[in-house]
Structure 1
Amino acid sequence: MNLKHFKWDTLKQLLARSRYFLYKTKWKWTSKQIERAALLFELYPDSKRYSLTQELRSIFENKKDKIIGFAKLAKWHEKVNQSGFKSFGTISPTIMNHYQTILNYFDNRSTNASAESFNAKIKAFR
């Protein structure tokens, strides 16, 4: 694949436009987005680490059992360590330090997002 397929995109535009589809799971990509992803991953090999994000998302979307979730989270943590990707190097230890609390998500599929949002509103009000 080469830039001829996306001759209307500069490299900067390719990166900017890729940002939107990288938030989605691969199976929701359009054919153009699949082509753009192939080009992006070819030109920017570090962007292939996108799969680490998708794997983490998949753990929480597809797993319902706490034990399986814990095992998958541990495997994901190991992949992050092996990748050497600095961005994940900050979140991975946080997840592992708070894994017991995070794993509670698998009990009833709920988070403390509403409480955090409420706390943020109180702080903003102060």
Structure 2
Amino acid sequence: MTGTGSGASPGHRVRRALGDLGERLAAQHLQALGYEVLDRNWRCGQGEIDLVARQGSTVVVCEVKTRRSSRYGHPHEAVTRAKAARLRRLAVAWLQAHDVPAARVRIDVVAVRVGHGDPVLEHLRGVA
């Protein structure tokens, strides 16, 4: 048996590092707007939530999409109706698992584009 011992291909590690960077930048963006980040990379049997934050009495489930180029479309385009429905189900699961009362729940997307120059973030509120 051969390999690097990490179990992940070099391409997977590069994508994971890019995703981690995007999530870190998105969390900083939300905090700068006054949100409280409650959780990162929460997983359950139904999937994963990138970020969970609170804005006042609203719990915000945030999908982060990070891209180096628009070659595969704008990052927001990756959040399809099916993905949005899954995020709504994950939001309910997160609230139940953490016994967090919320007057409202909102699904946001933060698109992060990195490449030449400073990263560019776009924050869409209430996508689902």
| Higher strand proportion | 2
Higher relative contact order (CA 8 A, sep 6+): 2
- Compare CA radii of gyration and give the structure with the larger one: 1
Q: Which has the higher helix share?
A: 1
Decide: shared fold, TM above 0.5.
Answer: no
